[in-house]
Amino acid sequence: MTQLLAAREGRITPEMEEAARREGVDPEFIRAGVAAGTIVIPKNRLRRGVRTCAIGRGLRTKVNALIGTSSDRDDPEMEARKIEVAVSAGADAIMDLSTGGDIDGMRFLSLERATVPVGSVPIYQAGIEAIEKRGGIVAMTPEDMFEAIEKQAAAGIDFMAIHCALNFEVVERLQKTGRVTDIVSRGGAFLTGWMLHNRKENPLYEDFDRVLDILREYDVTLSLGDAIRPGCIADSLDGSQIQGLLVAGELVARAREKGVQVMVEGPGHVPVHHVETTMLLQKQLCHQAPYFVLGTLAIDVAPGYDHITAAIGGALAGASGADFICYVTPAEHLGLPTEEDVRVGVMAARIAAHAADIAKGVKGAWEWDLKMARARASLDREAVAGLAIDPALVRCYLEKEKGEPCSACGDECALRLVSEYFQQ
């Protein structure tokens, strides 16, 4: 039985109780939100030893970090270290987006090392394996797609970004509208190329019930992938994006009917004056499902600082209703992130999430800042450090000011790492 079906029967599961404890709310609040579909708890029924994370209305805005091997850098142990860095920095979930090397092995490592929910994008593996076995992504079969979903669900993945809300109506709207950056979603590009080459509807949309049957069996939370998210602010809120939201809304209702937990992915690059409209449209069209935003990046002209542009947009998005923020690192648009990029990305996203929580009135958010203000007013530096979003970095600064070597971090001194990063 899924968390959604249990909630509808009036049952409070152990996961709901743990989520309530972590959020400081009544377990009935969590149960009611899960039953209504405004809260999801991504946790595969086969997964053990994972920290429960509830995402949705009335809860703390959560942060997601990305890891994964690729053809350019196939180093599983480095990715495992990134998981540890992300979780220690406060990430609430991670996604394994591996597209190179031993993809199954990397997934096993991710599930083994991560103490938080782990997500994936099954179409990546299906597409890469189609290249290896059949010579191209367009040679991928529908069965390849469903087998990848089944395999990853059986392995223990807690939530999956699946691009079901992409159909020919959305593609045709995109072709008529035109874009500066076309399709920037990798999964969306895989499927659009497949559809146009084979002149067939997206199997993940056409046979959506089969997707739901697999996810329900393992209680995997569906994250409706945003296949046509805007890749620059000029493409924000165009016709294809809105068409995709309309389709996503239909699929949210169908997923809930089947007892499958569902959230919706969103953009992407969004100028500041579009953020609130984008969030309100999604919530209205997608029946108040939790919104998982990939940024959002408020400007396009700050490569190397996109963790900051995303934090600006992410704070506004969260304040307007987004529930789950995917981090963006300084390496975005430039290359693959290092461990330090991951740490900085998580911290920037956490800052955005907390700013949003204050605006939304999330329980405990305002009080945290009030404690910090009182600690500063009383000149209690140790309390200031303990209350900081990054205590180690604050202690580094305080000890440096006293002319002492940093004892908080030793060789991994956060202040030294940040300084060296920006000197590169």
For residues 170 and 244, the answer to whether their CB atoms sit within 8 Å is: yes
Going by pLDDT thresholds of 50, 70 and 90, the confidence category of residue 400 is confident
Average pLDDT rounded to a whole number, residues 144-158: 98
Q: Is the pLDDT of residue 281 over 80?
A: yes
How much is the pLDDT for 405?
62
CA nearest to 390, candidates 380, 398, 401: 398
Return the structure tokens found at 1. 């039985």
How much is the pLDDT for 295?
84
Note the pLDDT tens digit of each residue in 212-269. 999 999 999 999 999 999 999 999 999 999 999 999 999 999 999 999 999 999 999 9
CA nearest to 22, candidates 388, 360, 367, 364: 364
Average pLDDT rounded to a whole number, residues 260-285: 97
Flag whether the pTM goes above 0.85. Answer: yes
